[in-house]
Structure 1
Amino acid sequence: MASMSRVQPESELGLKAGGLPKVSAQGFSFFYGKTQALKSLDLAVPEKSLLTIMGPTGSGKTTFLKALNRLNDRVPGISRNGSLLLDGKDVYDSDVDVASLRRRVGMVFA
């Protein structure tokens, strides 16, 4: 189960004062039924940066990536808490066009 709790100052993130991260999670949790796959994830990724997600099997890496482009939308019994933002907009807002989101957020598995 993934959990990140360290909040980094903007200068450490490479963000300009008042700037928004490209991708951020704020207390984001994800569940498959009663099984919690992500626990209160806090994350800020600046624009034009590289993010590597590493961890053992079952730690939530794929769940996070699938949540970011909403590939889990049709999985029965899922639920989530918190916010998952792309350019300051929650990807789970009701007005988000999922097809457009998926064109912007790609996934590569090797």
Structure 2
Amino acid sequence: MPSSRHRTNVWHGYAKDGRIRNGRSPPRYMASMTKMEPAMMEGIKAKDADVAFICGMIAHHQGAIDMAEVEFKYGDNADAKKKAQMVIDAQKKEIKDYAKWLKTNAK
């Protein structure tokens, strides 16, 4: 099993030998996370626990979409791009379901 440092480097866009795989994507991944976190925090401020959960999940799912779009645009692995498209499709559907739930249940 790789060390946690190795896993961190891989996550941040580094190849196994430590070279940057794609100098453009790591900052864009960070931007998607930076955008998602405040939206999630705002969503979970709702007084109703159910509404807070749904609002937080909408922001979380949007963050997943944003990250998948970075992969789709800058990635070079066909399988990873396919997975990114699957994330985009699934998360958009779930966001629609959550929005519908909010319309019906949020007070």
Larger radius of gyration: 2
Higher relative contact order (CA 8 A, sep 6+): 1
Instruction: Give 1 or 2: higher strand fraction.
Output: 1
Instruction: Name the TM-score, length of structure 1 as normaliser.
Output: 0.28
Instruction: Name the TM-score, length of structure 2 as normaliser.
Output: 0.29
Instruction: Give 1 or 2: higher helix fraction.
Output: 2
